[in-house]
Amino acid sequence: MSSTGKTIRELARELRTGATTPRVLLDEAMAHIGAVDSRVHAYLSLTRELAERQADGAARMLEERPDDASPLCGIPVALKDVLCVEDVETTAASRVLKGFRPPYTGTAVQRLFDAGAVCVGKTNCDEFAMGSSNENSAFGPVGNPWDVERVPGGSSGGSAATVAAGSVPYALGSDTGGSIRQPASLTGVVGFKPTYGRVSRYGLIAFASSLDQIGPLTRSVEDAALVYATIAGHDPRDSTSDPRALDDPVTALREGVAGMRLGVPREYFGSGIDPAVRASVEEAMRVLEALGATLQEVSLPTTDAGLSTYYIIAPAECSSNLARYDGVRFGLRVDDPSLTEMYMRTRDEGFGAEVKRRVMLGTYALSSGYYDAYYRKAQKVRTVIADEFTRVFQDVDALVCPTSPSVAFTMGEREDPLSMYMCDVVTLPVYLAGLPGISVPCGFIDGLPVGLQVIAPRFEDARVFRVAHAYEQATDWHTIRSPLAEVAA
């Protein structure tokens, strides 16, 4: 197995003992990607030149001040192609941005680079992060490393798949309504979505600005905490970035779950959940109980409204955010003597079917005749959903439930958009309330991974890590690697 089948922690140790070097890790990652990516298609571009420069810089940092160097120093990372990196093509998996080279690097990514991270490439995703299966990429779908005929989940499917395949120890994804946790669950890795406002969105191509957050996909909960600690924190360039001080997520890992009260939301175990997924998650709850947590059933009665509320708010925001792709400023332009025709033809050729569907839904919901009936109503329901979580968190410290109603499905299986939207039924309400959450591997069904979801109150991100880490350390699901991780690079 390539050494990149290891965790960040393990590699950081090896870099310090001299067992490996940033250049060796980079070469191994690139070789592994070369060996598996024709099947997985996790990458839209590779950034070898940038990576070589960064690996050499990291080697210097490790040599000059090994004790001060970040645990991420010298370790390869892949970035979802919605994250801007200066002068590196960034497409959001859309034809409309083909050839776009951002003039700057976003804050979260810059913080990784400052810590000595080595960027191997930009990962495939659903177009503008709209989707749950990664089949909406304009440049072709991503295969799940556990079975390449199946989807890896979405929209951060490429980021999840490359970690699950064993090519890199971690990747960044973005999450609007499930796009980190759901693919993490379907590919058997850890995926963490921070509290809204914790990680700067500066340099993240916007889908729905009041929901979007950047977060890590990793092979262990501790690694997710390490990456989060590096990218989180106030950024004056993002007006929704929160100035509150950060609890140290890595220290919290050691606290364990003894004495914690964990809520089990009744509605998240309803009829839409595959019984085998439910059984795996119930088994995980028994593990948490054995570790000293108490479990208690709770109710979130407006769960049902989460999906419809999200599918008003997210398209409304996307219709506004995507108005900027008009052929004038970025990427694609389809020339026409008439300016209006040029706009229309650029957008027609540049956007895929799902993006167009959302722009139309959103424009409709925001139009003057329907604004009150749809958009304003959805915002009110969003407040009710958030209040419901606040009430439940008076009685419990965190919630545990499935991440996804099913394991990875076959490509092409869910053509009907509604059945695709159902993929996020258990992650969406959490997003509407801006809460932090994680998915951690908790079993397999017919060789396909299942994820346990842990949710905490806003700004209690450290608590999410604490529960997930305690569970992970008591089980060995996270140590089981996908068949592609064994492919010799």
Give 143-193 as a DSSP string.
-BTTBTTB---SSSHHHHHHHHTTS-SEEEEEESSSTTHHHHHHHTSEEEE
CB of 430 to ligand GLN, least distance (A): 11
User: How long, in residues, is the chain?
Assistant: 489
Nearest residue to ligand GLN by CB is 179
Query: Nearest approach, Cβ of 80 to ligand GLN (angstroms)?
Result: 10
CB atoms near residue 253 (< 10 Å): 20
Instruction: Tell me if residue 155 is catalytic.
Output: yes
Token digits of residue 2: 């390539």
Residue 185: active-site member: no
Closest CB to ligand GLN among 167 and 404?
Answer: 404
Of the two residues 131 and 402, which places its CB atom closer to ligand GLN in the complex? Answer: 131
- Give the 3-state secondary structure of residue 38: helix
Return the number of the residue (155 or 220) whose C-beta is nearest ligand GLN: 155
Strand bridging mode 398-402 / 261-265: parallel
**CA 370/CA 456 separation, integer angstroms:** 34
Q: Decide whether 62 or 217 has the Cβ nearer to ligand GLN.
A: 217
Task: Give the shortest CB-193-to-ligand GLN separation in angstroms.
Answer: 9
246 contact partners, CB below 8 Å, separation of at least 6: 198, 229, 232, 233
CA distance 302 to 299: 9
CB of residue 433 to ligand GLN, shortest distance in Å: 14
Single out the catalytic residue among 80, 156, 404, 439.
80
Least gap, CB of 22 to ligand GLN (angstroms):
31
Pairing assessment for the beta strands 118-123 and 170-175 based on DSSP bridges: unpaired
- Please report how close the Cβ of residue 221 comes to ligand GLN at its closest, in angstroms: 21
Minimum separation from the CB atom of position 303 to ligand GLN (A): 16
CB neighbours (10 Å) of residue 178?
31
Catalytic: which of 70, 132, 179, 220?
Answer: 179
Q: Is cis: bond before 155, omega within 30 of 0?
A: yes
The Cα 85–Cα 8 span in angstroms is 22
Determine which helix (DSSP H) or strand (DSSP E) holds 349, and give its type and residue range. Answer: helix 339-350
Contact 307, 275 (CB under 8 A): no
Cβ atoms 436, 455 nearer than 8 A = yes
* Strands, sheet with 448-455, edge to edge from the N-terminal-most edge strand: 43-46, 118-123, 76-80, 170-175, 213-218, 190-193, 437-445, 448-455, 398-402, 261-265, 294-298
Residues that bind ligand GLN (CB under 6 A): 129-132, 155, 175-179, 207, 314, 424
The b/e string for 375-384 (b: 16+ C-beta within 10 A; e otherwise) is bebbeebbee
Q: Retrieve residue 243's tokens.
A: 């100035």
Residue 265 corresponds to which amino acid? P
Cα 93 to Cα 126, 204, 239, 251, 266: the distances in Å are 6, 13, 26, 37, 37
Closest contact distance (angstroms) between CB of 257 and ligand GLN is 28
Beta-bridged to residue 420, according to DSSP, are none
Q: How far is the CB of 204 from ligand GLN (least distance, A)?
A: 11
Q: Which of 3, 70, 133, 155 is catalytic?
A: 155
CB-CB contact of 431 with 310 (8 Å): yes
The H or E element that residue 295 is part of is strand 294-298
Q: Which residues are catalytic?
A: 80, 155, 179
